[in-house]
Amino acid sequence: MSPAQETLLRRVEKVDGGLDSQDVATSLGVDHQAIVGAVKSLLALGDVISADQRSSKHWELTGEGCEIAEQGSHEARVVSSIPEEGMPQSQLMKLAFGKVGFSKAMSNKWIRLDKGHEGGPRIFKTVEHLEDLVRDKLLLVQKGQASQLEEKEKNELKKRKLLSEVTVKSYWITKGSCFSTTITKQETELTPEMIASGSWKEKKFKPYNFEALGVAPDCGHLHPLMKVRTQFRQIFLEMGFTEMPTNNFIESSFWNFDSLFQPQQHPARDQHDTFFLSDPAQAHEFPQDYLERVRKVHSEGGFGSQGYKYDWKIEEAQKNILRTHTTAVSARMLYKLAQQEKFTPVKYFSIDRVFRNETLDATHLAEFHQIEGVVADYGLTLGDLMGILHQFFNKLGITKLRFKPAYNPYTEPSMEVFSYHEGLKKWVEVGNSGMFRPEMLLPMGLPEGVTVIAWGLSLER
Amino acid sequence: MPTVSVKRDLLFHALGRTYTDEEFDELCFEFGLELDEITSEKDIISREQGDTKAEGASDVILYKIDVPANRYDLLCLEGLVRGLQVFKQKMEAPRYRRVSPASSEPQRLVITEETTAVRPHAVAAVLRNITFTQERYDSFIELQEKLHQNVCRKRTLVAIGTHDLDTISGPFTYTAKPPGDIRFKPLNQAKEYTAQELMSLYKTDSHLRHYLHIIEDEAVYPVIYDSNGIVLSMPPIINGDHSKISLNTKNVFIECTATDLTKAKIVLDMMVTMFCEYCEEPFTVEEAEVVYPDGRTCQYPVLYPLTITLHESTEHIAQLLTKMCLRSEVMSDGEQIEVEIPPTRSDVIHACDIMEDAAMAYGFNNIPRTTPRTYTIANQLPLNKLSELLRQDLAAAGFTEALTFALCSQEDIADKLLKNISETRACRISNPKTAEFQVARTTLLSGLLKTVAANRKMPLPLRLFEISDVVLKDESKDVGARNNRRLCAVYYNKSPGFEVIHGLMDRVMQLLEIKPGQGNGYHIQAADDSTFFPGRCAEIFACGKSIGRLGVLHPDVINRFELTMPCSALDIDIEHFL
């Protein structure tokens, strides 16, 4: 404990109410800041003392003010320095208080100036006894009796830079609930030594500040969007869906469009919408008999379809692109399924990147993640598709769904999935779905009667 | 998805009742349409050009309705109203009939050999004794524009020309001539131009300049003349002024020239079926005869309904289909339904399209929801399973996951990493809109360094990783390229921290249960790589194979990514560990 703390505690002990830190400093003849320091360190020990901050204002003389209080105002000193026979103006002006005192004494009519006097202008005093009011007022302030002066007077003196108003911050110190003149230093933390010796039982511990935040843990984080991907993956796995190999960003137009019965003049196949590749520009290997069936169903029809009746070109199908949807992979998987000796029902899913030729802005990305689910089995119905979508979205916490008829070149029927957004209070589109067209499935060689239901949504949405 | 805008009051008048906005929105939803926006001309102008310009513009309420891309029969007020009225069972689906002219020969359009080189197909028809009003006329012009933008693929596949038949006289000739030999007064111009002059005139036309490229470089341009040598049109660019239609036109000659005959037939059917209700004898269309260079003749429009037999058998389905403009009858065997597809429904090409309509008529949301009984066992893709496991552990090791674009500029994967583009095996995009998408990335490193640059303000050190695919050219694949799964991590701090990134690699190997050592273990040995600071790069070997590199990045690489601190990096191919 420092001597200042000790003295302070003794003083507090003696008084009944409390005391002001400023008064303590004055009476001890020490700097006020030293007392403030002692107050603060005592406060940190807990409830030894309590202290309320208060501030008071009082008037003080400035340096010039002190000089005047001691020697009189400038104008009074001018008068007293002039002898009976007067004094040349130039000589008066050489005195330290000359200039200021001259003009004030003139306006008080304590002196007069004889400009025509031989040997230059000369000054004579006109009064014998004068009352130096300025000095009297300053003396009052110096004695601590500033309250006897009127505000107007104080402000005028302040304007003349003789007085200044000072704000003093001090503490009103009273005894705390655990007041004692002997204090022990509080420990900040428990140490192994305290535990070993048992000394913690006697120690006082500094209270924690529970308002503060903790230290951030030193750890890494997963990307939020990838965390959502993990959740979707989990949902599909829970529902018995097998993951498709979507690790092929570059795809031929054949698998991306033609195999899905998307005609070659379809706007989605425009340069504006799809990234085409210049290197490697073309795919060079296709299952030939399947390719022939695809050509035929587009250009002539078949499998119960009229077809699109246009001149289907292999050159268009060969063009390599950055896949525009993961359905290109679903097509490859369904074709592979059709090559099995015996059809087995499947449930597939994928979540991976797809690409669109967009200029980036707040609502458009050139690449984003598509989530896709596919079920192939005999006799699946539209009711099945809606049922499975319900279960899927239920797992996401989306329970209110409704379906809008839509158009999609490779599904028929096609349905847009809307869910009711409680926050926005309206129906918002959350995904797209449908049953793959027979013109897509039958050329692959899937048995008649097998239907394939599918849906897709965007991870970023 | 095309958007059709119709005047609300006109629409309600035609539908015979009014709806609240919500009711109409609901009706659209059921019918597969979307009420996209409720607005007015005034609103649109004030939004696009400011309030002052909008003053005096019409404030008649407009409904903007999104129509499915394959329903060309809903692209105008007439078609929308007909579709909705039949759907609500307020009217019966009309039967469209092709008729011969009462007293004379049909109009003839003769196609000459020369067209083969540029635009070989043409079809035609006549709307006889039609009555236009301002609204009908506007809708007629608007429909042509909508068809041009959609099914006609911006006039490349089909171009439509409509003419006042009373100003011209058949037979008409569809031929092709050198541009210098074609001379006529085009629509809304005061004088005659040659085709060459027209092409330069329209270079600055905000609307027509988009179509010039279709024939610009051809040796001959398509052109249609009447028997007096008057030019009807120079498809697909512009019609002649002489035969233009007006509000007073009574008889309309419609021609469609095309590079795709199927589409031309569809477009002609749409034009006539939509507007023949305004003819003196509604829903009839006067035929025109097209004569081919080889002498064959054909009557148009086709209009014949297509018949599809459904192997379904309930009376109910037949009723539902009738609601969708598809006249249906249960056949005598009681097990099949014969469905008549009107010419307006060119989107119906398979029985499945009909079943969709039956479902729509029934109401998608009225169908009971069932659970398929398909029993399957789920499997994860091994590569993704491995990636998921590693991601978790890298985050636990104090590194933060980044997600970066798979497409980037050539500079990002070559110059900035002090590599030559030729050694990267990068796949190149032919039509990027910006330089940000020139190539598919061949490394994850540049994406991570860009992420560091974007997060320079964050407290040091920055520890980032990504596990994702890069794309490499590979001749052995059908498309000539393959993805490759990589793990990349960077450590960015006041000191390079090679030991940190090295420690991370040790941790990855520990997780993969590969022990340090030669042979079946892993080890690193000094390597030269221009991306790294000389003497501060090592190649990583696992089970005898080189799987990647780690080291301290070259100061020039740091500078080129606009970074200021030393940085170490790890880049490995994880497909070896499957």
pLDDT tens per residue, range A158-180: 887 888 888 878 888 888 777 77
Q: What is the pLDDT of residue B506?
A: 94
Nearest to A275 among B263, B429, B482 (CB): B429
Nearest to A412 among B356, B368, B384 (CB): B356
Q: Give the A window 338-397 contacts with B, CB below 8 Å.
A: 345-347, 353, 355, 357-360, 366-367, 375, 377, 380-384, 386-388, 390-391
Q: What is the pLDDT of residue B337?
A: 83
What confidence tens digit (pLDDT) does each residue in B14-42 have?
A: 999 999 998 999 899 888 898 888 888 88
Instruction: Assess contact for A169 and A92: CB atoms under 8 A.
Output: no
Instruction: Assess contact for A232 and A393: CB atoms under 8 A.
Output: no
Q: Is B302 on the interface with A (CB under 8 A)?
A: no
Query: Looking at CA atoms only, how far is residue A330 from chain B in angstroms?
Result: 14
First to last CA, chain A: 65
Residues 6+ apart with CB under 8 A from B126: B101, B106, B107, B165, B251, B252, B253, B254, B285, B286, B287, B288
B465/A220 touch (CB, cutoff 8 Å), yes or no: yes
Q: Is A428 on the interface with B (CB under 8 A)?
A: no
User: If we measure between CA atoms, which residue out of A439, A225, A440 comes closest to residue A353?
Assistant: A225
Q: Is A314 on the interface with B (CB under 8 A)?
A: no
Q: Is A268 on the interface with B (CB under 8 A)?
A: no
Q: At what angle do helices A151-159 and A133-142 cross, to 10 degrees?
A: 100
Q: What is the pLDDT of residue B346?
A: 85
Residue B105 backbone class (left: φ over 0; alpha: ψ -120 to 50; beta: rest)? beta
Walking along chain B (578 residues) 10 residues at a time, the average pLDDT comes out as: 89 91 90 88 80 77 89 91 90 88 88 92 93 93 92 92 92 93 91 91 90 91 93 93 92 94 92 92 92 91 75 75 83 79 87 86 88 92 96 94 94 93 91 89 96 91 96 94 96 93 94 91 93 94 93 94 95 93
Q: Is A452 on the interface with B (CB under 8 A)?
A: no
B406/A381 touch (CB, cutoff 8 Å), yes or no: no
Q: Give the B window 442-471 contacts with A, CB below 8 Å.
A: 463, 465, 469, 471
Q: What is the pLDDT of residue B42?
A: 82
Query: Looking at CA atoms only, how far is residue B460 from chain A in angstroms?
Result: 12
- Percent of residues, chain A, with pLDDT higher than 90: 40
B98-106 contacts: CB < 8 A, separation 24 or more? B98/B284, B98/B285, B98/B286, B98/B287, B98/B299, B98/B301, B98/B303, B99/B281, B99/B284, B99/B285, B99/B286, B99/B287, B100/B286, B100/B287, B101/B126, B101/B128, B101/B286, B101/B287, B106/B286, B106/B287, B106/B288, B106/B289, B106/B299
Q: What is the pLDDT of residue A328?
A: 95
Low-confidence ranges of chain A (pLDDT < 50): none
Query: Looking at CA atoms only, how far is residue A185 from chain B in angstroms?
Result: 36
Could you tell me how many helices (H) and strands (E) chain A has, helices first? 17, 16
Query: Looking at CA atoms only, how far is residue B476 from chain A in angstroms?
Result: 10
Residues of B with Cβ-Cβ distance to A219 under 8 angstroms: 395-396, 398
The two tokens of residue B506 are 């040790």
Q: Is A306 on the interface with B (CB under 8 A)?
A: yes
Q: Chain A interface, mutation test: which of B150, B259, B267, B374, most A Cβ atoms within 10 Å?
A: B374
A384/B153 touch (CB, cutoff 8 Å), yes or no: no
B478/A414 touch (CB, cutoff 8 Å), yes or no: no
Chain A residue closest to B361 (CA)?
A405
Chain B residue closest to A360 (CA)?
B434
Query: Looking at CA atoms only, how far is residue B519 from chain A in angstroms?
Result: 30
Residue type, A442: L
Residues of B with Cβ-Cβ distance to A409 under 8 angstroms: 70
Chain A residue closest to B367 (CA)?
A383
Instruction: Assess contact for A231 and A371: CB atoms under 8 A.
Output: no
Residues 6+ apart with CB under 8 A from A386: A401, A403, A415, B364, B367, B369
What distance in Å separates the CA atoms of residue A201 and residue B558, rounded to the nearest whole number? 57
Residues of A with Cβ-Cβ distance to B341 under 8 angstroms: none
B394/A382 touch (CB, cutoff 8 Å), yes or no: no
Residues of B with Cβ-Cβ distance to A243 under 8 angstroms: 378-381, 384
3-state secondary structure of B7: strand
Give the predicted TM-score (pTM) of the model. Answer: 0.76
* Concatenated DSSP letters of B56-79: T----EEEEEE--TT-GGGSSHHH
The complex scores an ipTM of: 0.85
Residues 6+ apart with CB under 8 A from B98: B284, B285, B286, B287, B299, B301, B303
Chain B residue closest to A380 (CA)?
B372
Q: Is B219 on the interface with A (CB under 8 A)?
A: no
Q: Give the A window 135-164 contacts with B, CB below 8 Å.
A: none
